[in-house]
A and B are shown apart, each in its own frame.
Chain A
């Protein structure tokens, strides 16, 4: 580790706010990019299953 304490890693010689916010935004965007389509996929399959069950019930 380059920094010798937690607070110096946070401050980064005055650049901490810039660096940490840039990394934070990146992590947020990456999480959205990965999680949103996975949730959407599950949701579509669940909706389809519901529709199919309803169809089968109507038939019988």
Chain B
């Protein structure tokens, strides 16, 4: 009896949470109060992590100092992939339940994901020059990451291509969902096609092949870039909420209150 009651309570509280997630004023308010402390913490954490990786770790015994790019390359690539899950999930929710805030999350996620993918590709190219002797190679990992960039940019462009916003979000959601095929290819590319890009150094099971003095700043940066992604999502969702809710009473009140 007790378990059934608690399941009921959990189900209703989850339902009310989803209900709130769909409410623009609530989302706007809660993101504002989260950002007030999360954004400064994230900026400080990023500054600490960047300085740590850039100046305070020892160089790699084989690659020398060029390896320091790992502290931005790997976190950017990880978050670029995580952002795609979020975008595809938001697309699915918006497609199935026609939830407006999911649509806004998908729209906000695309340029942010594109930025992180761009960073992963550019820092990878810069790292490749001193390490492999070339800026670019049509390696499976690199090519599939380039496809990821085009998928993000495709969602951005598709949104702009439609005048009818409902049709736009439907088309973008379908593109995002179809593009999910690319994600396991990116993960597995280094094992399936062994070429220049090295396989993963950090493993969930078994030992990682990085020394802990390099692993701690790397984990620090991964956490910081995840936090950065959360901040960016909230910041651009707030803009999209204001854009789409401009004619409602609560946004009008906000506009008159915020500047007076």
Q: Report which A residues bind B (CB closer than 8 A).
A: 1-3, 9, 12-16, 18-19, 21-23, 25-27, 29-30, 32-34, 37-38, 40-41, 44-46, 48-49, 52
Name the distance in Å between A51's Cβ and chain B's nearest Cβ.
Answer: 8
Contact yes or no, A33 B122, CB < 8 A: no
Contact yes or no, A52 B59, CB < 8 A: no
Taking CB atoms and an 8 Å cut-off, the chain B residues in 204-254 that contact chain A are 228, 231-232, 235-236, 238-239, 242-243, 246, 251-252, 254
Apart from A23-B50, A33-B232, what are 11 other A-B pairs with CB-CB below 8 Å? A1-B55, A12-B59, A16-B65, A18-B66, A18-B129, A30-B46, A38-B235, A41-B238, A45-B242, A48-B242, A52-B252
Q: Report which B residues bind A (CB closer than 8 A).
A: 39, 43, 46, 50, 54-59, 64-66, 68-69, 72-73, 76, 112, 115, 118-119, 122-123, 126-127, 129-130, 228, 231-232, 235-236, 238-239, 242-243, 246, 251-252, 254-256, 258-259
* A18 with B50, Cβ < 8 A, contacts A29-B118, A46-B259, A48-B252 known: no
